Each structure stands twice: as structure tokens, then as C-alpha cells.
């Protein structure tokens, strides 16, 4: 994740069954849905404050490749500018992931 989503965190480590990342927001925990055959990579991101965000994410096969779908969810108190900034950050991360996966 730090390679393709550097805004979320710069390092990641599995500690007591939970992924812990050092991020610009402090230490965060990322908890993924259990491994499954359907490509569901939904995850919760918990900030140091205890605030948790749910992030729906899917990977589906598409011929010889795959498609990654990440739903950007708007928090109740978000301004239009904050939501747009968040959506643009996710888009940038997904473009970076695409380039990584397509490297020879």
C-alpha cells in the first residue's frame, strides 16, 4: 500500500493481526475484510483519534487483467473542496497502482 497510496502512509507493518501504518495523520490501523474468492478488499481505516472510515474496494477479473473499483465516500462534515481533494487523491493512488501492476 505505501507504494501506491503514499498519502495514506509511508510504511506498513502487521502487528497482532492488524495492519499499522505511519501516516501524515499519525499512526493508523487498516483492517481488511477476510480473504475471499470474490475480490472484496473492503477495509476500515482507524485514525489515532479512534475515528474509523469504511472504504469499499473490489478487484474483479477482466480477461487477462483486472479492474479495481474504490468507492469514495463523503463524510457528513466534508466541504465540496475536501471531498474533491479526497477523490483526486484516490484517483492518483489508483493510477499509481495501475502503473505498478502493468510494469513488465
Is residue 29, in this structure, part of any structural domain at all? yes
Distance CA 40, CA 24 (A): 26
Residue 2 predicted with pLDDT over 90: no
pLDDT, tens digit, 9 for 90 and up, residues 9-27 = 889 999 987 899 998 889 9
User: Of the candidates 55, 50, 48, 53, which has an alpha carbon nearest to the alpha carbon of residue 23?
Assistant: 48
Neighbours of 58 (CB within 10 A): 15
Domain limits for position 66? 11-102
Please report, for the domain that includes residue 75, its CATH number: 3.30.530.20
Cell numbers 497482532: residue: 16
Total number of domains in the chain: 1
Place 96 in a pLDDT band, splitting at 50, 70 and 90.
very high
Contact (CB, 8 A) for 55 and 42: yes
In a domain, 57, yes or no: yes
Percentage above 90 pLDDT, the chain:
77
Amino acid at each position: 500500500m505505501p507504494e501506491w497510496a503514499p498519502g495514506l502512509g509511508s510504511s506498513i507493518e502487521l502487528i497482532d493481526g492488524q495492519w499499522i501504518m505511519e501516516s501524515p495523520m499519525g499512526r493508523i490501523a487498516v483492517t481488511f475484510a477476510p480473504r475471499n474468492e470474490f475480490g472484496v478488499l473492503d477495509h476500515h481505516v482507524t485514525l489515532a483519534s479512534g475515528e474509523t472510515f469504511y472504504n469499499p474496494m473490489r478487484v474483479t477479473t477482466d480477461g487477462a487483467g483486472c479492474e479495481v473499483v474504490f468507492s469514495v465516500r463523503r463524510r457528513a462534515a466534508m466541504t465540496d473542496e475536501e471531498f474533491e481533494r479526497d477523490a483526486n487523491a484516490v484517483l492518483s493512488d489508483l493510477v499509481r497502482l495501475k502503473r505498478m501492476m502493468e510494469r513488465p
